[in-house]
Amino acid sequence: MQGKVVVITGASSGIGAAAAVLLAGKGARVVLVARRGDVLRAVAARCGKDAHVIVADMTRREDVRRVVDDTISLFGRVDVWVNNVGRGITRAPSELTDEDIDDIMRVNVKSTLYGIQEVLPHFKERNAGQIINVSSMLGRIPFATQRSAYNGAKHFLNALTANFREEFRQSHPGIVFSLVSPGVVRTEFGLNAIHGGADSRQFPDSQSAEEVAAVIANVIETRRTDVYTRPGSHARVLSYFTGFGEDA
C-alpha cells in the first residue's frame, strides 16, 4: 500500500471517506473526489499531508477526465481507481418514472463507466492498475422492492465490471477489475435516497463504513476480483439463485 496513488470518488462521506482515511493511514497517497469541497477538505485533513482534494461531479465526463489528468500531473501516475459514487431511491417498480431511471443510471452507472473509460488509457499504457467498483448485495439479490431502480443499476454495474474484466484479460493482464459488494452499511445512504427513505444506520445486521473500507484495503493488497464484505454473503447469493431455478 505504501506510496500507491489511489483515487476515491464519492469520498466526502460514508464508505469513501472511511476508505480514504484508512488507506492514507497505510501509506497510500489518496486523491479525494466529490462535489462538496468543504466536506472533502475536512476528510483530507484526517488523511494527512499526502491527501489531495479534487472537487468534481463524476456524472460529467469532462470532470472525470480532469480528475485523471490532475492526478497524473500531481503524482505521475494512478495505481488504483475506486468508483464509489452512488445514490439510492425509494420507489416501487410500478411507480418508477423516466426521471427516476435517468437519475439513478446517471449517478450509479454512468459515473462508474466514465471513471473506467477515462483512466483506462493510462492503465493500458502501463499495463498496470486496479479499478474497484463498489456495488451492493442488491446487485446480486434484488430483495428490496422499494430500491427497484437502484437494484437494476447495481446489476448493470456488476455486468460492466465482468465485461471489462473479460475484454482486457488477455491483452492487458496487469489491469485488475475488482467488485466489492456490501450489504447494509451504517451511513446516511437511506436518508439521502431520492424520494427519501429510512435511516440505514438504524437497520439490524448492518456494518460500519470502516468495516467496508477494511475490505477495500484488502482488495487493493490482494488484487482480488469479486468480494463480499460480510461473511455468508456468497452462500446467500448461491442459495437465492438455486431456489429461483427450482421455482422456474
For residue 219, which phi and psi values (nearest 5 degrees)?
-65, -35
Going by the DSSP 8-state scheme, the letter that residue 195 receives in this structure is: T
Strand partners, 175: 129
Task: Give one word for 196, left, alpha or beta, with left for phi > 0 and alpha for psi -120 to 50.
Answer: left
How would you class 55 by CB atoms within 10 Å of its CB: exposed for 0-12, middle for 13-18, buried for 19 or more?
Answer: middle
End-to-end CA distance of the chain: 46
Catalytic (active site) residue 150: yes
Catalytic residue among 114, 150, 228, 240: 150
Count of beta carbons in the 10 Å neighbourhood of residue 235: 10
Q: Which residues are catalytic?
A: 150
